[in-house]
A = this chain, B = another copy of it.
Amino acid sequence: METATIKDIAKALNLSTSTVSRALRGSYEINPETKRIVLECAEKLNYRPNPIALSLKENRSRAIGVIVPEIDNPFFSQAINGIEAIAYNRGYHVVIFQSHESYERELVNVQHLLARRVDGVLISLSGQTNNYEHLHGLQEKGVPLVFFDRFTDAITTHKVIADNFKGAFEGTEHLILSGRKKIAHLGASSFLSITTERIKGYKAALEKYNIPFDESLIRYCNFSIQEMETIIDDLLSESNPPDAIFTVSDRLAMACLTILKEKHIAIPKDIAVMGFTNLKVASLLEPAFTAVVQPALEMGQRAAELLLDLVEKKSKAPTNFQTIRLPTELVIRKSTAL
């Protein structure tokens, strides 16, 4: 059962394909009676326009590409959920790639998306990425690009991010006000904007309360479980370990909790733990986990909207690129109790 084309309709009705095409799009220069017949025949043959043919002609694909480090991460799957919702409503399809925190993989993904002629790209950078030529390449080819969550200032475009500074500031402040004196900050890759912004927030909070900054309390984890455990172990085995740990990702938070439990360290009594996390079960953890929650779904939605606006913008007038900073929410639970 092959799919009917405009030619089949033309043949069946003894018309030209041009006439059928125009009738289907309701052109004014087609006889209403002819239109009726064509529509009827199209219905009968279950005609569906071939988007591939249209893509070829119009040089667009009505698809947008999304590159995330890992799909299987609540933050990103929530964001993709938001992206899919917007794209769906506006008639676009979503093509997904994972960088697995690898620069090389991200590069290949971008090349695939270029080859595929996607109409635009949403990206959250890999933890290894510190060269942005591939993204410049996209822009040079005229493919709109929008960052969400993990961006770089090396590229000029829309960015939709959480208010990482404020989130980290409030979180750190909360720890300080809970009486913690020695607060460790477990960051992600040092290349990432989210890392530097959050560290700034952390430092600002320390400063506000006149707590001296100790470089050795900041650690960078590039997201391999192995590495995280080594770092956390190292941090805890010091002669004078921290009395609070602020982690910046779901995976870090989990690894941290696991290790502390293994070591039978009491939370929050001996060490308070909190983190940037979008785990929905945070309240059900033992102890209930204090979290800086990012509006992942909304972030995906906003980013998709901005991207599609760029894609559909007729005028090539220079755009005022925005950086949208969405507020985070500090949810205080038992893991940081006094």
Name A residues whose Cβ lies closer than 8 Å to a Cβ of B. Answer: 1-3, 48-53, 55-56, 61, 63, 70-74, 77-78, 80-81, 84, 88, 93-98, 112, 114-117, 140-142, 254, 257-258, 261, 279-281, 283-288, 297
Contacts and interface: CB of A to CB of B under 8 A. Distances in A.
Contacts of A70: 81
Given A93-B116, A286-B284, A61 B72 contact: no
A171 to B, nearest CB: 20
Contacts of A254: 280-281, 284
Contacts of A49: 115
A55 to B, nearest CB: 5
Contacts of A53: 56
Contacts of A78: 72
Given A70-B81, A286-B287, A95 B95 contact: yes
Contacts of A3: 114, 117, 141
A286 B117 CA distance: 48
A258 B279 contact: no
A1 B254 CA distance: 46
29 contacts: A1-B141, A1-B142, A2-B142, A3-B141, A48-B114, A50-B117, A52-B55, A52-B61, A63-B95, A71-B71, A72-B74, A72-B78, A72-B80, A72-B81, A72-B297, A80-B96, A81-B98, A84-B96, A84-B98, A93-B112, A93-B116, A95-B95, A96-B96, A254-B281, A257-B284, A258-B284, A261-B284, A284-B285, A285-B286
Contacts of A84: 71, 96-98
B286 A281 contact: no
B1 A117 contact: no
A280 B251 CA distance: 10
Contacts of A281: 254, 279, 281, 285
A258 B283 contact: yes
Contacts of A48: 114-115
B285 A285 contact: yes
A22 to B, nearest CB: 21
